[in-house]
Each structure stands twice: as C-alpha cells, then as structure tokens.
Structure 1
Amino acid sequence: MDDTPSVIPTALSALRSKARDAGFIMSSEDRTGSLLAALAAAAPAGRVLELGTGVGEGTAWLLSGMDSASRLTTVELDPDVQVIAQEHLGDDPRVTFVTGDGGTWLEDFDGAPFDLVFADTWPGKFTHLDRALELVAPGGTYLIDDLIPQPGWPEGHEASVERLLAELEERDDFRCVRMAWASGLLMAVRTAGAQPGGSSV
C-alpha cells in the first residue's frame, strides 16, 4: 500500500521552496503532516497547539484539517523562519503566531487546555514535558515525531529519545502508541479520568 498522501495543503509547495532557499531542513514529512491533518479534523471546534512552527509546513497541514471554528497557536523561537509561515499562512484567522522561546511560553501560558498538542521542538518534548502534557485536554492527543535515528542527531541524542519514550509510557494518565513510520512517531492520548502528573481518578 502506498502511504504517500494524495492531497497536500495548497501552501506547501511555496513553503518548501522558501525552506530550501533558507537552508531549513527540519520540516515534518508528508506522512506526519497527513496524520496531523487527520487529528485536527477529529477535533471539531478544537484548540490546537504547535510547538516549533519552522517555516510552517506542519502548520499548513494542521490548518488543512481544522474546521472553521478551530483555533491554532503555533510557537517558534527563530523569527527568520517563522516569518515565512506568517507570509504564506498569516491571512488565515484561525492561526495565531507566537515568536519566542517555547519553554517560556509553556511556563507562562494560563489558558484553556488543547485538544491536540504537536511538539516539534525541544520545549514540550525534551524540556518542559510535564507542562506540555498538562495542557492536553482529557481525550486530547499529544504527538511527537523524529524518533527514529537520523544522520544529523547530536552525540547522545538517541539515549535522550529512549528516556523520553520510557517516561511517556510510564505515565498512567496517557495511553501511548509508538509508530515506526514516517520519521518515527509517538501519539499519546490523555485518558478521560486522568489528572495532570500521571495519576487517574
């Protein structure tokens, strides 16, 4: 079975061209994007959080799956890459771009939880993990990618990934599934009766 997505967001071609021009090589691949779109579509009037906008390829996939009542907040440290996403996607009223450190944003955020959290950068994944998971609503989904070893990984990163996966799977407030697919994914769904921090009622 061919798992290449047959439908891609309209803005994706232009975003990829800009990414090549900028030398940005960290965008999520199409299969991950198609899953993001499906998860966004599964949450009508949903609240979506993306940590790590990059040039906006993941953002475009999320927006393609969201309905008109859904809202997306996307956070990026590097303004030089996020401006590409803003230029191509900023006219969509459903998305709010935040430029700044993802860890600081997670620490300071005091709004309602999210139905979908996609952590595609260090904060919310390798740092501030507990805080990111606190922001997942009951029945909501936390998704991370880039878990299969890659040539560009820094020394010792594979051990960090294994620790992260073990920590997530030890929690009893989320049900996790690993997927040896795309760049390597883990999807965690908060159980309905769960309280933040790993306990359940």
Structure 2
Amino acid sequence: MRDVPSQRPPQLDAILAEAARAEFAMSCEDRTGSLLATLAASKPGGRFLELGTGVGAGAAWLTSGMDTAARLTTVETDGTVQALARRHLGADPRIEFVTADADAWLTEQQDPDLFDFAYVDCRPGKYLRLSELLALLTPGALYVVDDMLPQATWPEDHQPRVDAFLEQLPAVPNWRATPMRWASGLVVAARV
C-alpha cells in the first residue's frame, strides 16, 4: 500500500518552503495532514480548533477538508511564526487566527461544547489542561494529536510526558481513543 497523500493543499508547498527558510521544523507531516483533511471532511459545517498554528501546515490540511460552512480557530503563541500562516492562509474567511498562549486561551474559554474537532499540536490541550480542552468539544467531536513517536525536535525530558499522556487516555471518561504507530505517532479520539 502506498500511503503518501495524492491530494495536497495548494498552499502547502509555499508554506513548507517558507518554514524551511525560517528554520521551523515542527510542521505536521503529509500523512498526518491527509488524515486531518479526511477527518475534517466528516464534519460539514463544523467548528474546528487547532492549538499550535505554527506556520500553518496543519491549518492548510484542515481547511482543505473543511466545507465552506465550517470554521477554524487556530491559536499560536508565537506571532512571528503565525505571521507565516497568515501570509498564506489569511485570505480564507473560514479561519480565525488567534495569537495567544494556548494555556491562557484555554483559561478564557467559558462555554462548553464549542468545537466539533480539535487538533492539538502543542503542550496545552495535550500534556497540560487536557480536561479543559475536552470540555470544549461537542458530543461526537474528534480530538487528534500527533508527535507521539520520538521526534528530532523533542527536548531530552519529553518522552515521560508522552508516556504519561498515553497512559491516562483509557481512563478519560466519555472518550474513545485509538493511539497509532503511524506517521509521527497519532491519537484519534471521539467523544461518546
């Protein structure tokens, strides 16, 4: 089986080229992105959340699967990095870019059941404050995280965080999760 995506977002090559020039090495890889686009297509009119915009590779994949009625809120702490995403994706009216620390952003959210899909590519909402993030997701919502397999960009003390996250998943109430040793290492979960 060939698992390399045949459909890629039109902006992706330019985003990744600019990321390389900026020495940003933490974009989601193509197989992860293709899965994000496929899962996004399952949520017509959905409200999407991305924690960790980075340079916009994940947002490009998500929006390539979203329909015209869907909306994406993408949160990034580093305004300089997020500016690259805005440059390539800012004309898309479905995207709301939020420059904020994801931890602080989670604190500000008061209403539960806001989102139908969350892709988390930073520590808050994955290794920190998982329950607060999950409270923002509707029944039937999908929760996706990547980078569960060792990455060259990981700090030396990161593996215990990943291990603890994976160990706690089966005990999270009202969620069904599937960890996968595929792509960068993924978890796809659904609220039941």
TM-score by length of 1: 0.92
**Which residue matches 1:110?**
110
**Which residue matches 1:61?**
61
**Which residue matches 2:134?**
133
**Which residue matches 2:25?**
25
Per-residue CA distance 1:53-104 (angstroms, 9 max, x = gap): 0000000000000000000000000011100110110100000000010011
For residues 78 and 165 of structure 2, what CA distance do their matches in structure 1 show? 24
For residues 97 and 171 of structure 1, what CA distance do their matches in structure 2 show? 29
The alignment status of 1:176 with 2:177, answered yes or no, reads yes
For residues 93 and 6 of structure 1, what CA distance do their matches in structure 2 show? 26
* Matched residue SS, 1:131: helix
For residues 172 and 100 of structure 1, what CA distance do their matches in structure 2 show? 29
For residues 153 and 14 of structure 2, what CA distance do their matches in structure 1 show? 25
**Which residue matches 1:46?**
46
**Which residue matches 1:185?**
186
Once the 2 structures are TM-superposed, how far is the Cα of residue 152 of structure 1 from its aligned partner?
Answer: 3.2
Letter in 1 for 2:58: G
For residues 4 and 151 of structure 1, what CA distance do their matches in structure 2 show? 21
Per-residue CA distance 1:19-47 (angstroms, 9 max, x = gap): 01110000000000001101110001000
* Matched residue SS, 1:125: coil
Per-residue CA distance 1:107-150 (angstroms, 9 max, x = gap): 10234521100010111111111111111110111110000122
* Matched residue SS, 2:36: helix
**Which residue matches 1:86?**
86
**Which residue matches 1:74?**
74
For residues 153 and 37 of structure 2, what CA distance do their matches in structure 1 show? 27
For residues 114 and 169 of structure 2, what CA distance do their matches in structure 1 show? 19
Letter in 2 for 1:176: A
For residues 151 and 92 of structure 2, what CA distance do their matches in structure 1 show? 34
For residues 20 and 155 of structure 1, what CA distance do their matches in structure 2 show? 23
Q: Is the 8 A contact 2:56 2:82 kept in 1?
A: yes
Per-residue CA distance 1:148-170 (angstroms, 9 max, x = gap): 12233222311111111111221
Among all aligned residue pairs of Structure 1 and Structure 2, give the percentage whose two residues are the same amino acid.
Answer: 51
List structure 1 runs of 4+ shifted beyond 4 angstroms: none
**Which residue matches 1:157?**
158
> 5+ unaligned residues in a row in structure 2: which ranges?
none
TM-score by length of 2: 0.97
RMSD across aligned positions (CA): 1.0
Cα 1:109–1:172 change in 2 (3 A) is closer
For residues 157 and 15 of structure 2, what CA distance do their matches in structure 1 show? 31
For residues 189 and 55 of structure 1, what CA distance do their matches in structure 2 show? 27
For residues 57 and 22 of structure 1, what CA distance do their matches in structure 2 show? 14
For residues 98 and 152 of structure 2, what CA distance do their matches in structure 1 show? 30
**Which residue matches 1:12?**
12
Letter in 2 for 1:141: L
Letter in 1 for 2:64: S
**Which residue matches 1:199?**
none
